Amino acid sequence: MNTEIKVYYEDTDASERVYYANYLKFLERGRTDYLYNLGFTHKNILAKYKFYFVVKNCKIDYIKPAYFEDTLKITTKIINISKVKILFHQQIKKKEELLVDSEILITPVFFNGKIAKIPNEMLEKFST
């Protein structure tokens, strides 16, 4: 799944490079679009299943910077999934040049902080 974004001035630091923490926002957009593409939204997951996803672990390798007004492609794919976690591999590229390589582990939790289980109907959609 690919998501395309444009770098705005608000995403950059004084050098017009993307501020490092903003790459995490870009990756979040990629995962959100991945869910949307499968027919899920964060709101409908919360309403139907009473849980939400949180980032449990994040590994990110900053290879090259992106700049103001660049158009970036975020590639998102699942590399491992179970009832209690989803491991995404995500990359951010400018054209075909790799800028960021990451693995993001998310887990479903209830509002009381306890781990939830991803329902089979969701797991089936993630596996397609």
d(CA 38, CA 89): 17
Average pLDDT over the chain, rounded to whole? Answer: 96
Reply yes or no on whether the pLDDT at 111 is more than 90.
yes
What's the mean pLDDT in 60-82?
Answer: 97
Average pLDDT on 99-114 reads 98
Give me the catalytic one of 13, 61, 70, 101.
13
Residue 50's nearest CA partner among 114, 125, 121, 128 is: 114
Question: 3-state DSSP: the chain helix, strand, coil percent, rounded to 5?
Answer: 25, 45, 30
At a CB cut-off of 8 Å and minimum separation 6, what does 109 contact?
A: 51, 52, 53, 54, 115, 116
Verify whether residue 13 is a known catalytic residue: yes
Domains of the chain: 2-126 (3.10.129.10)
